[in-house]
């Protein structure tokens, strides 16, 4: 029998999200089935979920039901659960009834006031303190704590000061910090929401010094920043930039001295992704493309002239083509998608594209600053709902 505490570190579920208008709720349910099976087979003691539980502040009803069932099923395995809200979640809504569900062994941390007050879970070696640092909107955190500096490093730096101050009162206690942030050295993909408004967005890994393990969320690719500071990535691919990602979660062991190692467990892949390019006739007839007929596809056509009805013709061979672009050989490069969602793109880029389309010229520095202020005000309002 292992003498370590076993953690399952996951994040960025984004329940309720679609993939280029493909509904992913069944794939998300399949992932959660796999998660619960893994908790049982790996004898997981604590499940830590590092934010972006939902895809938006007002999630659809089927996503709320799926989340509700998932928490009940996780708890039914005997494992405890510690979760934090991310930048896609509503801090206020995620804080609802947390005191009540704490008693059940599910601990959701979505408030600035709770930072520095850990969830204590015991094993044979003594207590482990779990500190939840939800996504901190820099301006909300700055006003709440009266911080002199703006940006994510200042906000998370202060949060970790609170964590270390509490930990100093608990000699010999091991610690796990959950944090939803963009840590320097991490590699982003196209599907994370931009968090650069409101000051510096990148946080150095050293800000988390003092914790035995740091369970990060926000970036959608699996990453090891340091041996004890890790991202599991999203369990499903949410953009074509993730076509080569390996999706899953970290299984982490804590022994009497703290971090004792981690291994990665793969999650099920509902449908593989690929980005292919070529002339339409070749894509429709070439044997080498046959292996992509079951993939979700982003297709770039290189025909010198735009073919007629390209999407309809592509879907006869590749029924799961979701995105179409044109990059004609020997001609001007036109990279703007013909079909594609705006949900995975930063708000500022979407507004700038609209301005350029509407009047034929890109917004100037003053206009971009105005858009930045507007985006920040909307986020502040969302954070207080």
Which of 131-145, 220-234, 333-347 bottoms out in mean pLDDT, i.e. has the lowest? 333-347
**What pLDDT, on a 0 to 100 scale, did the predictor assign at position 336?**
54
Mean pLDDT of the chain: 88
H or E element at residue 244 = none
DSSP labels, 21-32: TEE-HHHHHHHH
Instruction: Indicate if the pLDDT at residue 379 is higher than 90.
Output: no
Per-residue pLDDT tens for 115-161? 999 999 999 999 999 999 999 988 889 999 999 998 899 999 999 99
Per-residue pLDDT tens for 46-76? 999 999 999 998 999 999 999 999 999 999 9
Which positions ≥6 away from 166 have C-beta within 8 Å?
A: 116, 117, 118, 129, 131
Instruction: Indicate if the pLDDT at residue 194 is higher than 90.
Output: no
CATH of domain 5-266: 3.60.21.10
End-to-end CA distance of the chain: 47
Model-wide pTM > 0.85: no
Q: Where are the domains of the chain?
A: 5-266, 273-326, 347-383
Pairing of strands 248-255, 258-266: antiparallel
Instruction: Between 325 and 185, name the one with better pLDDT.
Output: 325
Distance CA 18, CA 309 (A): 25
Which of 9-18, 84-93, 146-155, 342-351 bottoms out in mean pLDDT, i.e. has the lowest? 342-351
**What pLDDT, on a 0 to 100 scale, did the predictor assign at position 333?**
47
Per-residue pLDDT tens for 91-102? 778 777 777 777
Predicted confidence band of residue 168 (pLDDT cuts 50, 70, 90): very high
Instruction: Indicate if the pLDDT at residue 289 is higher than 90.
Output: yes
Distance of CA 21 to the CA centre of its chain: 19
Q: b/e string for 324-363 if b means 16 or more Cβ within 10 A?
A: bbbeeeeeeeeeeeeebeebbbbbbeebbeebeeeeeeeb
SS3 355: helix
Predicted confidence band of residue 198 (pLDDT cuts 50, 70, 90): very low
Distance CA 237, CA 273 (A): 8
């Amino acid at each position: 029998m292992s003498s370590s505490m076993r953690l399952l570190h996951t994040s960025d579920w984004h329940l309720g999200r679609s993939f280029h208008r493909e509904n992913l709720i069944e794939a998300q349910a399949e992932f959660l089935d796999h998660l619960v099976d893994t908790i049982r087979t790996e004898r997981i003691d604590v499940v830590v979920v590092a934010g972006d539980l939902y895809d938006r502040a007002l999630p659809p009803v089927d996503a709320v039901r799926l989340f509700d069932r998932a928490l009940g099923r996780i708890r039914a395995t005997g494992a405890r659960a510690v979760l934090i809200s991310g930048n896609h979640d509503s801090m206020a809504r995620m804080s609802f009834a947390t005191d009540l569900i704490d008693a059940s062994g599910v601990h959701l941390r979505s408030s600035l006031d709770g930072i520095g007050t850990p969830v204590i879970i015991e094993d044979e070696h003594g207590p482990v303190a779990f500190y939840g640092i939800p996504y901190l909107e820099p301006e909300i955190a700055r006003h709440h704590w009266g911080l002199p500096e703006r940006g994510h490093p200042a906000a998370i730096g202060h949060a970790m000061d609170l964590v270390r101050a509490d930990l100093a009162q608990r000699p010999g206690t091991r610690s796990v910090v959950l944090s939803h942030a963009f840590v320097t050295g991490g590699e982003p993909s196209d599907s994370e929401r931009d968090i650069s408004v409101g000051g510096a967005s990148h946080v150095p890994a050293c800000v988390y010094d003092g914790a035995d393990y740091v369970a990060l969320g926000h970036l959608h690719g699996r990453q090891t920043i340091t041996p004890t500071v890790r991202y599991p990535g999203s369990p499903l691919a949410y953009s074509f930039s993730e076509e080569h990602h390996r999706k899953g979660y970290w299984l982490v062991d804590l022994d009497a001295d703290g971090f004792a190692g981690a291994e990665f467990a793969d999650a099920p892949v509902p449908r593989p992704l690929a980005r292919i390019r070529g002339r339409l006739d070749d894509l429709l007839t070439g044997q080498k493309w046959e292996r992509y007929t079951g993939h979700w596809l982003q297709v770039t056509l290189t025909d010198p002239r735009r073919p007629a009805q390209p999407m309809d013709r592509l879907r006869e061979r590749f029924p799961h083509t979701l995105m179409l672009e044109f990059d004609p050989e020997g001609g001007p490069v036109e990279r703007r998608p013909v079909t594609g969602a705006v949900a995975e793109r930063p708000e500022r880029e979407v507004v700038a594209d609209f301005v350029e389309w509407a009047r034929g010229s890109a917004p100037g520095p003053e206009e971009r600053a105005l858009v930045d202020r507007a985006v920040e005000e909307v986020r502040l309002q969302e954070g207080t709902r």
